Chains A and B, each alone.
Chain A
């Protein structure tokens, strides 16, 4: 194919090198512009720090959600469009539990579990926040992870398992079906309303020239949870037999099976890990935003895809790094572009990566 089409004369430089040079040049230009703005005082240092901190926190959530997506994409060979809705469902389950624990005895448990749909319970009455009700938040976090794992496993059993031999596109379309089923079950149970979740929590005000940057307790919890779970995944992959099996399957599925790795059991474990991480991400993103609605995961999904593709599909570390990069890009781009385009910028970066380096910016195909 390449032989047939390649009529490029010799003097034209290597395409990949031109692309890299162009990329570096654009990056340098943007960096230069940020410096210029910082010195010229059209951009306050506090504002830039705020963007960076916010982008890092948001990016960690995307990275956390991306690990599961990346693993299943690689192992089963299809883009799971339902991953975003695993995030939403487990977030609802987790927050329902948090409300149940925080408001038990004071309100009707059923109303608490449904986050006070129909204006029966208000967030200010329950008063959930990381510093006010740490136990409730932690319980919710754990239950969200369990819920995410359960949902992922359930749909693998009922939908994907019997389709292992189907093509990637058939699985992709089926996952879209799963996504819509889950999303509109949430609408059925919780309506299309957006629920406020928390009251304000403790925050540290970092004063910088030009204003202050708030580093809040939810954000600190989020960073902690993200780092702890990423380290755990790293340990799982490198120190355990299961992790070794997962890596082997990812590298070469057939060879792994020949050596006697029980592939179905590894797939199940992968869904469990991925679903649990999606659950954590869902709970944390709701905590970060302070609100929740049925589109929580769907709006996140394309950004998660962006992170996964940037990091290279199948690479856990790539997914985390890609997620953080996407988070930073969507926030720092606000230096130049209005905030309403934040998501669009993330998508545009993803398209650019797909077109130029479909195997991810870190290259390689390692887990």
Chain B
């Protein structure tokens, strides 16, 4: 695929490098390495089988949900050149719509929390997806002709408006035409019960019982089954986007990304193509919001849809390289496994094996102890703050990538700016004579 520019292929011995050419090997090879790391950490910490399975499940779950979102960002940015940094907004619209519609009607409410419209879950999910798609249409239609950076600001502002609206106390519970419903405001709202979990509590109970008779916690079955459902959605998204990008539709999108005016001069209505790509992505984001935020925990608050999440998804795409689905998935695996979850794993191992004494509830305390010649408190403080430090690490990785390798590990887009820099190419060809390898070509 990217051959000469791929930093991993150039470091592998030749026979392995041949295999590495295949997308599926890239994905599963990376996943295997990250899995092995986690199993090793689990081994060090003395996890039993249940513990190992649980740690891998958490990792797989995050890889899958981030992967779906990253694929959408890749469709928007990598293929269509639409700089969408309002990802969470569309997820929020999807899950809030589905939740509000599927909550039981006032009066027949078993849990006593917010009432809704009592729509069957399947219909509510469809409505949520459609609502996210419609929001995408509304947000993109007028802003398509804007410059990339203005488009980014508009989508970010849109996502924040969505979040502020769901958070406002005025919409916490309203009654319109006799229907009482609401967003739950800042406190959030209970969503629907997870169908996968329901299945294993009723029809699938024997399967759980069988696993429990093996001496394992039955929870493993339910949790992994849910991850596999999400995985199916990821595979479906991958297939859809790969098909789209290989189709004539996708070629027009890439044309728009690289040079919109040239594509227009070939009599393509670029705005129509862009808006379709954007709406498809937003629909997938709506579905993702429903299955990720809605189904997995059973409770949503506006605080789950902060711009930080969008940033995490974006960096997964940038690590892998925009414009390549395989790269996006590989980038997601690396991002989730090493950057997002990695610091916590390191912390667990250190907690287990290095005996640190003392306490340091705040940074000045730790600094004071350090001044007194005691190194332990500052280390303890650093480990206590891993959740903040991993974001710092993420930011640094992002800066480093953009300075050193703006195209990502496996990116097809040679540069991040919109038009192709022909001069540089001519320059390169001139320097290396006829041996020059073409770069930045199409994935297919």
Tell me the A residues contacting B by CB distance below 8 Å. 1, 4, 78-79, 108, 110-111, 113-114, 117-118, 120, 159, 162-163, 166-170, 172-174, 176-185, 187-191, 302, 305-306, 309, 338, 340-341, 343-344, 347-348, 350-351, 354-355, 358
- Residues 125 to 157 of chain B near chain A (Cβ within 8 Å): 142-143, 146-150, 152-154, 156-157
**Complex Cα gap A302–B163 (Å):** 14
Chain B residues whose CB sits within 8 angstroms of the CB of A187 once the complex forms: 385, 388, 391
Q: What are 8 A-B pairs at a CB distance below 8 A?
A: A111-B364, A118-B362, A166-B402, A169-B416, A170-B416, A172-B149, A181-B392, A344-B160
Q: Which residue of B lies closest to A117 (CB)?
A: B362
Closest A residue to B391 by CB, please name it. Answer: A184
Q: Residue on B with the closest CB to A298?
A: B307
With contacts A184-B395, A354-B153 known, is A343 near B416, CB below 8 A? no
The answer to whether the Cβ of B235 comes within 8 Å of any Cβ in the partner chain is no
* Chain A positions within 8 Å of B157 at CB level: 302, 306, 347-348, 350-351
Given A167-B416, A168-B417, 16 other A-B contacts at CB below 8 A?
Answer: A114-B364, A117-B364, A118-B362, A167-B418, A168-B149, A170-B406, A170-B416, A174-B398, A174-B399, A177-B398, A178-B399, A188-B363, A340-B169, A343-B164, A347-B160, A355-B143
Per DSSP, chain B at the interface is helix
Question: Closest chain A residue to B382 by CB distance?
Answer: A188
Cα A182 to Cα B395 in complex, Å, equals: 9
Task: Tell me if B395 and A173 are in contact (CB < 8 A).
Answer: no
When the two chains form their complex, are residues B402 and A167 in contact, meaning their CB atoms are under 8 A apart? no
In whole angstroms, what is the CA distance A227 to B321 when docked?
A: 47
**Which residues of chain B have C-beta atoms less than 8 A from A178's C-beta?**
395, 399
- Chain B residue with the shortest CB-CB distance to A294: B388
The reply to whether B403 and A180 contact each other, CB–CB distance below 8 Å, is: no
> Is A114 touching B362 in the complex (CB atoms < 8 A)?
yes
Contacts of B363 in A (CB 8 A): 114, 117, 188-190
**Cα separation A335 to B403 with both chains bound (whole Å):** 48
- Collect the chain B residues with CB atoms within 8 Å of residue A172's CB: 149, 152
Contact B416 A177 (CB under 8 A): no
Count of chain B residues with Cβ under 8 Å from any Cβ of A? Answer: 53
**B residues less than 8 Å from A338 (CB atoms):** 168-170
B341 in the interface (beta carbon within 8 A):
no
Q: How far is the CA of A43 from the CA of B168 in the complex (A)?
A: 23
Question: Given the known A-B contacts A340-B167, A348-B161, are A110 and B399 also in contact in the complex, defined by CB atoms under 8 Å?
Answer: no
Smallest CB-CB A-B distances: 10 pairs: A167-B417, A177-B398, A181-B395, A118-B362, A180-B395, A184-B391, A187-B388, A347-B157, A340-B168, A177-B399
Whether B396 contacts A181 by the Cβ 8 Å rule is yes
Q: What's the least CB distance linking B311 to chain A, in Å? A: 6
Chain A residues, Cβ within 8 Å of B391: 180-181, 183-184, 187
Instruction: Give A211 to B315 CA distance when docked, in angstroms.
Output: 52
Closest Cβ of chain A: how far from B366's Cβ, in Å?
A: 10
Determine the residue in chain A with the shortest Cβ distance to B186.
Answer: A340
A177-B398, A347-B161 known; A120 vs B416 contact (CB < 8 Å): no
In the complex, chain B residues whose CB is within 8 Å of the CB of A306: 157
Find the A residue at minimum CB distance from B158: A351
Whether B146 pairs with A354 at a CB distance below 8 angstroms is yes
> A302 contacts which chain B residues (CB < 8 A)?
153, 156-157, 160
A341 B160 Cβ-Cβ under 8 A:
no
Q: Are A188 and B402 in contact (CB-based, < 8 A)? A: no
A179 vs B398: C-alpha distance when bound (angstroms): 11
Q: How far apart are the CA atoms of A163 and B397 in the complex, in Å?
A: 16
Q: Is the CB of A344 within 8 A of B311?
A: no
Contacts known (A181-B396, A188-B388, A343-B160); A169 close to B83, Cβ less than 8 A: yes
Flag whether B376 is at the interface (Cβ < 8 A). Answer: no
B261 contacts chain A at the CB level, 8 A cutoff: yes
B17 to chain A, nearest CB (A): 29
B165 near A: Cβ within 8 Å? yes
CB neighbours of B311 from chain A (8 A):
176, 180
B406 and A177 form a contact (CB under 8 A): no
CA distance A306 to B160 in the complex (A): 13
Query: Interface 1/0s, chain B 377-398, versus A by CB < 8 A?
Result: 0000000010011011011111
- A18 CB to closest chain B CB (Å) equals 15
Residues of B within 8 A of A185 (CB): 388, 392
Once the chains are docked, how many angstroms separate the CA of A120 from the CA of B399?
A: 36
- B7 in the interface (beta carbon within 8 A): no
B350 to chain A, nearest CB (A): 17
A174 to B314 Cα, complex, angstroms: 12
Q: Inside 8 A of B397's CB, which chain A residues have their CB?
A: 177
Q: Which of B34-61 contact A (CB under 8 A)?
A: none
- B149 near A184 (CB under 8 angstroms)? no
Residues of B within 8 A of A120 (CB): 362, 364
The answer to whether B148 and A168 have CB atoms under 8 Å apart is yes
Flag whether B198 is at the interface (Cβ < 8 A): no
Given contacts A1-B261, A159-B403, A168-B149, contact A110 B368 (CB under 8 A): yes
Find out whether the CB atom of A177 lies under 8 angstroms from the CB atom of B395: yes
Q: Kindly report which residue of chain A lies nearest to residue B143, judged by CB atoms.
A: A355
A162 touches B403 (CB 8 A): yes
